[in-house]
Structure 1
Amino acid sequence: MTATATTTSSEVRDAATSLIDGLKAGGFIAGIWRDGSSDRQTRVTTAADGTVLRTFASASTRDVDEAYGAAAAAQKEWANVPAPERAAVISRAADILERRRPEITALLRVESGSSALKANIEVSAAVGITRESATFPNRAHGTLHPSAFSGKENRVYREARGVIGVISPWNFPLHLSIRSAAPALALGNAVVLKAASDTPVSGGLVVAEIFEEAGLPKGLLSVVAGAGSEIGDYFVQHPIPSMISFTGSTPVGQRVGALAAQGRLKKVALELGGNAPLVVLDDADIDGAVNGALMAKFLHQGQICMAANRIIVDESVYDEFVDRFAARARKLVAGDTTDDNVIIGPIINDDQAEAVTGLIQAARRQGAREVVGGQLEGRLVGPHVFADVTEDMDIARNEIFGPAVGIIKAHGEEDALRIANNTEFGLSSAVFTRDIERGVRFARGVKAGMTHVNDSTVNDEPHVMFGGEKNSGLGRFNGDQAIEDFTTLHWVGVRSAMGPVPF
């Protein structure tokens, strides 16, 4: 198989199963492939129906201790490795990712329910951030500052933070694990990675395989797969890591932030939930806005923190937009993502499917007009589009994380901006208008970390900062911002000799 070749469903399943069966163990702890020591089991399953493909013993708190201990022991030497050597390891990891694209995309399609399109987007994103990270060792500069005292020099060194604990989610498991692991390692840190229970292979074990093959020294990366209820709090509160990088839901992220503030205070980077507005102003190109909204809502069946959660349309173009958007959405059918033609795959698990179905049912009860009603068959949830949604409805207030969306009518630009900002979240957003500078002015009025003019809300480029405001998180990922987050500054004041003191 190649990244662009047409594949049969059986070929996709066979490639994913071969990768999973070929794993040496269910964990990579302190440089050793072994299962965890917990009495619990981690199950590798298919997203489509939960079929169990492999089981192994989960990680326990004892395994977390071993992983963090090995990371602390290995990190000091790694931080002193010359920058070009660290960069070479990270660069090799990017090459390996690209070489293994066919089998990893197959894995994502089976384990995480990714379409062929989304799986390739995810691998490309992971390759991109890894290649960007390979430039970081030579970009982590310190500074020199003058002093108010004669004969003194002030040096500010940029240094690795130490050990980073990374907790990644199931929706973009490969990319969102590597988005933290690659820059942290490049900058001289060690990493202990806890992948989501729904995607332990694509979010964790395959990452360990890649960096091991790239020549990363033992101990610098460990992967622990275990239940959050058993090791989650312990992972965050552990005294060794100096930083926790978390991507996931807002409630869990808030708990992570609170736990990280207890005991030894840790830096946190939190990329959390969203309620992204996609705004269509009165002068918008409607076809372009429909295209942007389709990509923003239905890529990976809406299971993206940046997904358009609310479509806000000016009253003058409202009916036209609703009709065109609905017509396009009706053509999308939910199905098995091992089929190359399927765009909307299964919801990741039964609990999440129930939550999405509940929001659809609430929209019906609360009086929204259902203009598209797709299938509701277990984990397969087809497109559901609701018009005449009001701001107080559950579908407008809550993050949906599924292929359903509400369209809200706005009475002019000022009203559209007010509606866009009427949320506790502030991750991504978009606005459509033929007047570019009008779009920029509108974008700057949105209280969010990211706003795109005439584009989808779903955007991620490895060299551009990524992150949100309000309850969508703290900190920024990617590019220069990753260098800032995964390093710390150390002021070293230097005198040739101590002078007299005034007492």
Structure 2
Amino acid sequence: MSVKTYRYSEWSKMFINGSWREGSSDKYCKVTNPYNHEVLTQFKYASKNDIDEAYQTAEKAQAYWKNVSAYERISVLERAAQIVQNKKEELVQLLVEETGSSQLKASIEVDCSIADIKAAFSYPMMMEGSIRPSAIPGKENRVYRDPVGVVGAITPWNWPLYLTIRVVAPAIATGNSVVLKPDSQTPISGGLVIAKIFEEAGLPNGILNVTVADLEEIGDSFVEHSVPSVISFTGSTAAGRHVGSLAVKHLKKPALELGGNNAFIVLDDADIDQAVSAASFGKFLHSGQICIAMNRIIVDRKIYDPFVEKFLNSASQIKVGNPADPETIIGPLINRKQVDRALNLVEQSVAEGAKLIRRGHVEGNLMEPFVLVDATNEMSIAQNEAFAPIACIIPVDSEEEAVRVANDTPFGLSGAVFSGSIERGINVALQVKTGMIHVNDQTVNVEPNVPFGGEKSSGIGRYCGEWALEEFTTVKWVSVQKQPRQYPFS
């Protein structure tokens, strides 16, 4: 019997302790192209035993890695960054085929990944301590910064390469080891190719391990395992609540980047053309499948009609189709379930009183832009993260109402404010309860040297920059009594 060869047949094994091996589950992971449904590869899932081995391996390897010199860790990261740069064209193609990313989005994702690895070059040199005075004569207080140990990382399908690199690079830079569980819809770009990059970069065996598992089979074992000290999770708020509660139950530190319901505020003195341009990019990049994409466009009624007219015109000109075409902006949603969910949100919102002024054509996993206007913050489309190319435009009568509407959500991940006055924009931005917000820009921004994370139901903790140190390191107090201490009794 002949063995079927897939486009990505070489990606059919897990990576544990520096060895590429078949998973030991009886179930199979089938990876498909969301645009044309081509099967890209198929392989056996990891079992609970594989995950246990990965964690045990990571724990042993970390005991060595934490004592490796900062310069050696930096060298590994430097080589990894160069490998990603050299493989950019290949990685872009992988993201296009595995995730349905447009060429533009895929290129941005690879560039962001390179930037985060380069930012991690500095982390080994930031593992510094301090000496502090004591109230006790002859005592010296020392504070050391240490790696946490083993990090369990669960990463998503929408920006799989970048959102995994964002965890892996700082974790290993600070002396930790990692066991990674990428989403089973994007296991190559979200895990296996990253393991290969770091293997080629000379990362010692066992420091990075990748297991692709079926949740129905492994249950909560990945989070509840006794070895990891930190569980990093990026995904939906509902899943994040569950992961976070399990982590805390087992006294593990959760680092959670969750869902968003991001507001894009357009004040009455805004440059309408610039605001429309920003809104189109921040709404429709990667079909809206970005946690920091705008979900609610809040526009002052004084400029509402011209904004809607120009936004509708912009949305109507965006090319939708095969993501392999460099001109395409909107490719497929990741699966049909997401399409159906998005369409249901539209129908619910129309029933609730929203006006649908553009109903995009839907074919398979492809959705052309939908535009809903005259929406209110109580409607389904405004209360739920669309994760689809559906624009929801809400009119307001004042700056104060815009802020109130923006804050009237349990989420607080990203946001944006457009104003003709920089200071006015900043003043409004400071009133919005969110982890990140941008003045005269759109909501989709990532940079490696600033804190990335949310408030309220959008997460706990921060990634990127020196803030990543707080997630992947711990501090230890060591006091040194340099001369005999006199005790009140002995």
Shorter chain as denominator, the TM-score bin is over 0.9
- Counterpart position of 2:392: 406
- 1:235 correspondence with 2:240: no
Q: Structure 1 unaligned segments of length 5 or more: list them.
A: 1-17
Superposition TM-score, scaled by structure 1 size: 0.95
Equivalent residue for 2:451, pick from 460, 465, 478: 465
Offset at residue 228 of structure 1 (A): 2.1
- Counterpart position of 2:356: 370
Offset at residue 497 of structure 1 (A): 4.1
**Matches for 1:328-343 after TM superposition, within 5 Å:** 328-343=314-329
Distance 1:475 1:49, change over 3 A: same
- Counterpart position of 2:22: 35
CA distance in 2, matches of 1:111, 1:208: 17
- Counterpart position of 1:47: 34
**Matches for 1:408-487 after TM superposition, within 5 Å:** 408-487=394-473
Equivalent residue for 1:204, pick from 191, 204, 217: 191
**Matches for 1:79-228 after TM superposition, within 5 Å:** 79-228=66-215
Contact residue 333 and residue 374 of structure 1 kept, 8 A:
no
Query: Counterpart amino acid of 1:385?
Result: V
Query: Counterpart amino acid of 1:471?
Result: S
Could you list the structure 1 runs, at least 4 aligned residues long, displaced by more than 3 angstroms after superposition. Answer: 18-22
CA distance in 2, matches of 1:229, 1:250: 19
Contact residue 276 and residue 429 of structure 1 kept, 8 A:
yes
Offset at residue 140 of structure 1 (A): 2.0
Query: Counterpart amino acid of 1:324?
Result: K
Offset at residue 367 of structure 1 (A): 2.0
Distance 1:378 1:364, change over 3 A: farther
CA distance in 1, matches of 2:465, 2:215: 30
Superposition TM-score, scaled by structure 2 size: 0.97
Cα deviation 1:166-220 (Å, max 9, x = unaligned): 1000000000011000100000000000000110100010000000000000000
Contact residue 40 and residue 98 of structure 2 kept, 8 A:
no
Distance 1:371 1:248, change over 3 A: same
Q: Give SS of 1:21's match.
A: coil
Equivalent residue for 1:384, pick from 347, 351, 370: 370
CA distance in 2, matches of 1:94, 1:44: 26
Contact residue 272 and residue 305 of structure 1 kept, 8 A:
yes
- 1:326 correspondence with 2:297: no
Question: Which stretch has the larger CA shift, 299-308 or 492-501?
Answer: 492-501
- 1:66 correspondence with 2:45: no
Q: Give SS of 1:244's match.
A: strand
- Counterpart position of 1:291: 277
Offset at residue 26 of structure 1 (A): 2.1
Equivalent residue for 2:297, pick from 311, 328, 341: 311
CA distance in 2, matches of 1:154, 1:459: 41
Contact residue 96 and residue 210 of structure 1 kept, 8 A:
yes
Q: Give SS of 1:134's match.
A: helix
Contact residue 138 and residue 484 of structure 2 kept, 8 A:
no
Offset at residue 363 of structure 1 (A): 2.1
Offset at residue 352 of structure 1 (A): 1.1
Contact residue 333 and residue 388 of structure 2 kept, 8 A:
yes
Query: Counterpart amino acid of 1:391?
Result: N
Q: Give SS of 2:151's match.
A: strand
Contact residue 362 and residue 394 of structure 1 kept, 8 A:
yes
Query: Counterpart amino acid of 2:109?
Result: E
CA distance in 1, matches of 2:279, 2:478: 51
Q: Give SS of 1:135's match.
A: helix
CA distance in 1, matches of 2:180, 2:172: 12
Offset at residue 427 of structure 1 (A): 0.2
CA distance in 2, matches of 1:21, 1:353: 26
CA distance in 2, matches of 1:449, 1:147: 37
**Matches for 1:234-273 after TM superposition, within 5 Å:** 234-263=221-250, 265-273=251-259
Offset at residue 21 of structure 1 (A): 3.2
Cα deviation 1:200-252 (Å, max 9, x = unaligned): 10001000000000000000000001112222511000000000011000000
Offset at residue 22 of structure 1 (A): 5.9
Contact residue 274 and residue 428 of structure 1 kept, 8 A:
yes
Contact residue 417 and residue 428 of structure 2 kept, 8 A:
yes
Equivalent residue for 2:345, pick from 354, 359, 375: 359
Offset at residue 20 of structure 1 (A): 5.5
Q: Give SS of 1:110's match.
A: helix
Q: Give SS of 1:203's match.
A: helix
CA distance in 2, matches of 1:141, 1:354: 51
Q: How many residues are aligned here?
A: 486
RMSD over aligned Cα atoms: 1.3
Contact residue 9 and residue 40 of structure 2 kept, 8 A:
no
Identity among equivalent positions (%) equals 51
